[in-house]
Amino acid sequence: MNYIYDLHRAMMAQNLIIVYQGEFTQETTKSILAMAERNLDSSGEESNIKRKVFNIMVEALQNIVKHSSEANAQAGNLVSQSAIFMIGKQPNQYSIMTGNPIKKSATASLKKNLDDLNQLDKEGLKEMYKEIIKNTQISEKGGAGLGFVDMARKSGEKLEFDFPEMDSEYNFFCLKVNVSREV
């Protein structure tokens, strides 16, 4: 039973205000967003900060839902239920963190895209966003590739990421997006 206390201590040490691990569907996404919105509203946070955090949460959760449904179809329920979503609140920033399985075969491409994205400044991100809007088509997963660009633009920060190995077929894609609490 000590794991309950250990988990609680770890969450307190990381200043986590919301943690959800499990199956990600449109319904759970709505619930998580509603809970986070109530939490941000009750904290008296500045409206522009709340908007940035909320928009990044939407993008991050949509990313999990899209990729979890793909993993669920390919590998059964265990992989789709191993995704996680967290929000941490520090004195100077919010951190929106996600983790979900990704096929190892897709890892190098995603890493390159994120590295390239992190090389861009504010103007470069704006240009990339416009270019994607102008030249892209909606993918079979329902996205146009704007999610990460949008998160980087709204946060004004570099995206932090890693790909720890889960098993022979999957890595665990960890993403952290920080939003400054300074107006």
Residues across the chain:
183
pLDDT of residue 137: 54
- Residues sharing a CB contact under 8 Å with residue 77, sequence separation 6 or more, in sequence order: 23
pLDDT at 168 over 80: yes
Tell me the pairing of strands 83-89 and 93-103.
Answer: antiparallel
Lowest mean pLDDT among 9-18, 140-149, 171-180: 140-149
Q: pLDDT tier at 23 (50, 70, 90 boundaries)?
A: confident
pLDDT at 140 over 60: no
Amino acid at 73: A
Task: Output the pTM of the full model.
Answer: 0.88
CATH class, 2-180 region:
alpha beta
Query: Helices (H) and strands (E) in the chain — how many of each?
Result: 7, 5
pLDDT of residue 133: 81
CA dist., res. 50 & res. 66, Å (int): 24
Q: How does pLDDT run across 48-82, given as a tens digit for each residue?
A: 999 999 999 999 999 888 776 555 555 554 555 67
- The C-alpha angle 12, 57, 18, rounded to 5 degrees, equals 25
